[in-house]
């Protein structure tokens, strides 16, 4: 997970670095040692780290130098700011589709007349289950960048298509394909971001949840504007022409997501993750990406390709290699410039590394899988490489599973609760409340980003705190008898849920090493989707008792809060491996 302790000044890359101290859980007799790359004790330390996290020793050595160069020399600059916004597009899309679907279901029921309109949500969750698992594995095999682009494109195309559904089965099928693309957004986008940012700035992953709130708020506003003005009140006369508001909303939001994909793919394409490239032994390409980041940030790095290669062999540069003959050095610089020009595509793609390698691997999965297996253990077995990593994987998946049941269980029954307990809300007032609830989640992003860096809280305790508050607020929510009380408790729950998810997503990216990060993220989130399917089925076939599911949801949040305290890794102050 970690290779540099950002709280301490790191040594210059290529000669010495402090990898052991940056990895939690190592034996005390190797922590805090500073060794040269070719020192025997250092080799043992790197081997211990590699075995614990299920990565190769070669990769661990090289990523230590890469992290040092990014942390100490390149820093957080223009490139990372743009990348954060591009990664935020995935968060926007995720909540855009969930929010507009919840607003669409009542009108879809009137227009299509299904017995159980909740099957639309079930279809989306089934697609999400396949997508989160598939794209998680794919990002570790064919690379982050193809997954990063394709998943967003699929969600945009099928989001638009949902708006053109002419019957309920067609709508469910299209929602399943939408989920197939949407399921890859969060596992891949966060992995892409964390592998480019310096360790001291990994709190940005937590703050990324603000895009989730903005997506929910934007979709609520669009739904309010269109559905409230173009909707039917009864199923007696509810044709497309009289109930077009929800379709307009899907068309517009799908166009927005498609625009986000165009920006990602054409306007500012991001090169492949350097940590993924190191994990697949493509050292030269990883170094070219490092130089690209440095150029974008207006910085330089002392790390050389030779140092990066030698680190993988457990060697340092000798005197001749560190001080080469000037003429030989000039020839090498010329060769490097030719290589740089060769892989740099023309404007507007000049700022991207060539796609030739990326697409050769994407179009030849067999070749990519053979290379991956040659470099590493199988993706899943590596998540259980040591007792500590196995415990981490089990607890992370358990937390995602419990929340995967609790969150949709509450949300699936909230409409039933409002319909039975609160009868004084018009459609306009109900949609206005949805907008206000979405806005209430925004402060949660700021609070979570602040607390995760606090020494007394860190990732684990911040996450556990907000998860416990969510459970408590749900129990209190059942006491609401007026629309004002419902709004108040929903706003409180929105804030704490957003803060909880912000830290949970960020920590999940941090505790898995890059060679298995996509697999670990995808596995965790697929467990969440499995329980989301279960919660949806409960919502379809359960009795009309609206309080019991909310009590169960609150209880699951409280249990999850306790599980979070026992997570073996605290990633505050560490640089992801």
Burial class, 263, CB count within 10 angstroms (exposed 0-12 / middle 13-18 / buried 19+): middle
What is the rounded CA–CA span in Å between residue 282 and residue 499?
Answer: 37
* Per-residue pLDDT tens digits of the chain, which is 577 residues long: 333 333 333 333 332 223 333 333 322 232 333 333 334 344 447 677 777 777 888 888 999 999 999 999 999 999 999 999 999 999 999 999 998 998 899 899 899 989 888 899 899 999 999 999 899 889 988 899 999 999 999 999 999 999 999 999 999 999 999 999 999 988 899 999 999 999 999 999 999 999 999 999 999 999 999 998 898 887 677 888 889 999 999 999 999 999 999 999 999 999 999 999 999 889 999 999 999 999 999 999 999 999 999 987 876 544 444 445 545 444 444 444 333 333 333 333 333 333 333 444 444 555 555 554 544 456 677 888 889 999 999 999 999 999 999 988 877 666 556 655 665 667 778 788 888 988 999 999 999 999 999 988 899 999 999 999 999 999 998 888 788 888 899 899 999 999 999 999 999 999 999 888 988 999 999 999 899 888 888 777 765 666 778 888 899 999 999 999 999 998 888 888 8
Query: Got the DSSP string for 300-363?
Result: -----HHHHHHHHTT----HHHHS--HHHHHHHHHHHHHHHHHH-PPTTSTTS--SHHHHHHHS
How far lies 442's CA from each of 144, 213, 492, 498, 501, in Å? 28, 6, 11, 8, 12
Are 576 and 509 in contact by the 8 Å Cβ rule? The answer is yes
Q: What is the pTM of this model?
A: 0.81
508 burial class (0-12, 13-18, 19+ CB within 10 angstroms)? buried
Element (H or E) spanning 484, and its range? helix 483-511
Q: Which of 207, 83, 187 has its CA nearest to residue 140? A: 187
- For residue 487, the SS3 value is helix
- Which residue has tokens 């997501």? 257
Contact call for residues 432 and 486 (beta carbons, < 8 A) = no
Helices (H), 351-422: 356-362, 365-375, 379-382, 387-421
CA 392 to chain centre: 18
Q: How far apart are CA 512 and CA 509, in angstroms?
A: 6
> For residue 299, what are its two tokens?
């910085």
Report CA torsion sign: 68, 71, 77, 83.
positive
């Amino acid at each position: 997970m970690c290779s540099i302790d950002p709280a301490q000044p790191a040594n210059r890359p290529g000669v010495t670095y402090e990898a052991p101290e940056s990895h939690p859980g190592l034996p005390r007799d190797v922590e805090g040692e500073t060794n040269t790359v070719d020192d025997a004790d250092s080799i043992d330390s790197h081997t211990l780290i590699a075995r614990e996290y299920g990565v190769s020793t070669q990769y661990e050595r090289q990523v230590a130098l890469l992290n040092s160069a990014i942390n100490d020399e390149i820093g957080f600059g223009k490139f990372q700011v743009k990348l954060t916004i591009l990664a935020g597009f995935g968060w926007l899309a995720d909540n855009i589709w969930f929010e507009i679907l919840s607003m669409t279901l009542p009108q879809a029921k009137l227009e299509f007349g299904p017995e159980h309109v909740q099957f639309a949500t079930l279809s989306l969750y089934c697609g999400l289950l396949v997508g989160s698992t598939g794209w998680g594995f794919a990002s570790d095999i064919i690379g982050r960048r193809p997954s990063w682009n394709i998943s967003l494109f699929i969600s945009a195309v099928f989001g638009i298509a949902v708006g053109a559904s002419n019957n309920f089965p067609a709508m469910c099928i299209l929602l399943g394909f939408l989920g197939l693309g949407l399921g890859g957004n969060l596992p891949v986008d966060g992995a892409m971001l964390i592998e480019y940012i310096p360790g001291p700035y990994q709190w940005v992953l937590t703050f990324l949840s603000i895009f989730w709130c903005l997506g929910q708020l934007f979709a609520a506003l669009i739904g309010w504007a269109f559905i409230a003005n173009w909707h039917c009140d009864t199923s007696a006369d509810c044709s497309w022409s009289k109930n077009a508001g929800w379709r307009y909303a899907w068309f517009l939001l799908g166009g927005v997501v498609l625009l986000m994909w165009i920006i990602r793919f054409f306007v500012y394409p991001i090169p492949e993750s350097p940590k993924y490239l190191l994990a697949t032994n493509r050292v030269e390409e990883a170094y070219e990406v490092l130089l690209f980041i440095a150029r974008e940030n207006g910085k330089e790095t002392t790390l050389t390709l030779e140092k990066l290669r030698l680190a993988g062999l457990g060697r340092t540069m000798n005197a001749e290699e560190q001080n080469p003959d000037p003429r030989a050095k000039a020839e090498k610089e010329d060769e490097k410039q030719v290589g740089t020009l060769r892989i740099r595509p023309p404007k507007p793609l000049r700022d991207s590394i060539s796609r030739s390698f990326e697409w050769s691997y994407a179009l030849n999965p067999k070749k990519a899988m053979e290379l991956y297996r040659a470099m590493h253990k199988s993706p899943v077995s590596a998540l259980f490489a040591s007792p500590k990593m196995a415990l981490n994987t089990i607890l992370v998946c358990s937390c995602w599973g419990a929340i995967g049941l609790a969150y949709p269980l509450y949300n699936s029954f909230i409409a039933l609760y409002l319909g039975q307990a609160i009868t004084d809300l018009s459609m306009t007032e109900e949609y206005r409340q949805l907008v206000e609830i979405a806005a209430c989640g925004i402060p949660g992003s700021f609070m979570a980003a602040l607390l995760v860096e606090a020494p007394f809280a860190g990732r684990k305790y911040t996450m556990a705190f907000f998860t416990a508050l969510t459970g408590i607020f749900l129990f209190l929510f059942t006491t609401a008898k007026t629309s004002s009380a419902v709004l108040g408790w929903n706003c409180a729950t929105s804030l704490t849920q957003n803060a909880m998810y912000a830290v949970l997503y960020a920590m999940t990216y941090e505790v898995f090493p890059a060679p298995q990060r996509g697999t670990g993220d995808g596995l965790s989130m697929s467990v969440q989707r499995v329980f989301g399917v279960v919660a949806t089925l409960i919502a379809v076939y359960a009795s009309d008792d609206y309080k019991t599911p909310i009590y169960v949801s609150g209880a699951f949040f409280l249990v999850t809060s306790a599980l979070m305290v026992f997570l073996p890794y605290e990633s505050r102050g560490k640089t992801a491996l």
